[in-house]
Amino acid sequence: MNIRIVTGFGLSLLLGACGESTPPSNEAAVAPQGQAQAGQSDCDPFLQFCIKSQVSGAATASGVSGFGGRTPCAEWAKGGAARVLELPNMLPMGEQNKITVALTRVGAYSAPGEYTLVSTSSGQGAIPDMLPAVDTGEQSFGEGAGSQAKVRIEADGSGRLEANGLVEIKAAHRMREPDPAARLNLVMQWTCRDVQ
């Protein structure tokens, strides 16, 4: 089973994700036992983010990937006026079942901390949160009824995303109908380093 990145305007329309994040909390994020955070030595030195992801449920896989960026890590994560924060993408990586995660964002990021991604619109013109989109060979998953996601951003640019209950969605490049019972869970962790 291969996992490919799903990009473009079409997926945004398919997901129909809209909402606003809840303000950050100061609760510490703790990695479950057996789920170490990706270290920069696992990724190419010219890539800013080193990402480790694991999926379970309708598909199981894990992998480590790098993702580029040029904004200094502390600047990327710094607080201030509410703004959109796009999370790093996980490009297709893994041993057998490759993992890709795309299109995740915090719609009203204001400071390092934990955010719950919310799938309802405030109606006040705010740019919405987006829960992750994952494409797994013959299946695509995204936000749906019962989906939940939390993200923790640290001041050094590292972070952790947990999404539960992602539903199978119909993607434009798929001919088959989605399985209404299929659900996917995702844990994605990353470190950040300043690159020249």
Share of the chain above pLDDT 70, in %: 70
HSE (side-chain half, CA atoms, 13 Å) at 72: 3
Give the range with max mean pLDDT: 3-17, 19-33, 117-131.
117-131
Please give the full DSSP string across 120-158, using - where no structure is assigned: S--SSSPPPPB--EEEETTEEEE--TT-EEEEEE-TTS-
What's the pTM value of the predicted model, to 2 decimals? 0.77
Percentage of residues in the chain having pLDDT higher than 90:
48
More confident residue, 8 or 41: 41
Domain count, the chain: 1
Q: What is the pLDDT of residues 87-140, one digit of tens each?
A: 999 877 666 667 788 889 999 999 999 999 986 655 566 678 999 999 776 788
Alpha helix ranges (H) inside 19-89: 73-77
Q: Judging by beta carbons within 10 Å of its beta carbon (0-12, 13-18, 19+), is residue 77 exposed, middle or buried?
A: buried
What is the per-residue pLDDT for 38? Answer: 56
Q: Which domain holds residue 171?
A: 3-192
CA pair distance 142, 168, nearest whole angstrom: 7
* pLDDT, average across residues 58-63: 87
